[in-house]
Amino acid sequence: MMYSDKVLEHFYAPRNVGVLPNADGIGEYGDPKCGDVMKFYLIIEDNSILDVKFKAFGCGSAIASASIATELIKGKSLEQAWNITNKSVIEALDGLPSSKIHCSVLAEQTIHKAINNYRKSAGLDLWKDKYNNN
């Protein structure tokens, strides 16, 4: 299995690792088949993601996917962040082995969970995603 330099870079030196105790939105999602779990913490101000941190338990592809996903959504509006797909994550990582594509899906779903967690606490309607797992 070959990993891109970008995957290895984000695995060995992941960005935005940690916890934001005062997070406005927290999303956690796991894949029961492989055991990978991601948790994203968002600070939201004026409908934009001011800061984001993550914790991940899983393989190198899961950690790299979570790391790059936080970079993709930081500074973006909630709508822009919601529209980050697993394909966006794969492209940003310069590809993932086909057996690891589910890690990019996990990142997309965790972003959705965190945004909907914020929307729920703000009294807003939840957004629907293609996975319908809000």
| Domains in the chain: boundaries | 5-121
Per-residue pLDDT tens digits for 26-77:
999 998 888 999 999 999 999 999 999 999 999 999 999 999 999 999 999 9
Q: In what order do the strands lie in the sheet with 25-30?
A: 25-30, 37-45, 48-57
Token readout for 129 is 């995603």
Residues with Cβ < 8 Å from 41, sequence gap 6 or more?
A: 18, 19, 20, 23, 25, 26, 52, 53, 54, 114
| Class of domain 5-121 as given by CATH | alpha beta
Catalytic residues: 34, 103
| pLDDT score, position 132 | 64
pTM of the prediction? Answer: 0.94
